[in-house]
Amino acid sequence: MAVVYHDEDARLEAIQGQTIAILGYGNQGSAQAQNLRDSGLAVIVGNIDDSYRREAVAAGFEVVSIAEAAARAQVLFLLTPDEVMPEVYERAVAPHLQPGDLLNFAHGYNIGFGLIVPPDFVDVVMIAPRMIGAGVRDSYRSGEGFPSFVGVHQDATGRAKERLLALARALGSTRAGCLEMSLKDEATLDLFSEQAFGPAFGRIMLTAIDTLVEAGYPPEAVLMELYLSGELAYSFLKMRELGALRQHELHSHTSQYGTMSRSLRYFDLDPLLKQKMQESLEEIRSGAFAKEWSSDREGKLEFIKRAREIQRSLPMTRWEDETRRVFRIGDAAEGMKPR
């Protein structure tokens, strides 16, 4: 059974009196910095000279270079993008580490796959929110909190877990619950969701769209029915609240019968789906993906750029934009809103 920590398992005293440096004031960095400050902790921000730095200054934080922040703080939140973090760590963080410092990662990727190897005299922990940055801030302010995966990778002081839980409480995460796991397991689950579950789900959705449009149904109606109405998002929300199977009881008897009886005809897809997912899992666990992503970074970024261009040229993107505009959904509706 997994271990889950809540407020009663954490003491803020374990971290009070120590300076916390937020290294990277992006979406997660801004939310976490504000939550920590509102919990009464001393926070400084380390960031390059860009728009995020200006946002941090406007929010009332003392902002210095990443190297200076690393030198001044005893607790360091490494919140730069995964792909640049090893370089930032080696250049601006590692030279300033002192015995007893604590490194906190919001994702287990660089530690789990050996791209960053801290010295043995520092604590290394992870607080990985299962929430986007805006949600981390909003749920703190509402009092609800947000779930996280947490773990201790290295306990140099003998107090790493105590300090970890104090930080998680200050962020607001122990209100909802913090599930303990290794940093590599967290990274593996995250990558699997992105590389196996996400693509499989996306392929099914695209196949459904193609099937219905080819059968003569208007693309706008198809997209609205499948996901743009928000009904699917609401069902996923209810899966979280009630469970994936119990949420079916909220639907009509026609819906329940049709879903349950017709699901059987898709069972023969299981072996192929599982084979593909096992291939993805093995790529991740073996470190093959991490090695691939770390090599020829410019080539990978060019691949992303070209893939985005292809996606934007697809009929589906055009259909989405038109449907969102007509139904005044999101950014596409800005030009139609009353002034």
The catalytic residues are 107
Q: Are 93 and 23 in contact (CB under 8 A)?
A: yes
| Cα separation of the two ends of the chain | 54
Q: CA–CA separation, 106 vs 128, rounded Å?
A: 4
User: What 3-state class would DSSP assign to 231?
Assistant: helix
User: What 3-state class would DSSP assign to 75?
Assistant: strand
118 conformational bin, left if phi > 0, alpha if psi -120 to 50, beta if neither? beta
Other C-beta atoms closer than 10 Å to the C-beta of 76 total 25
Q: CA–CA separation, 137 vs 119, rounded Å?
A: 32
H-state helical runs in 122-230: 133-142, 160-171, 183-192, 198-214, 219-223
Q: CA–CA separation, 289 vs 192, rounded Å?
A: 11
Q: CA–CA separation, 82 vs 294, rounded Å?
A: 10
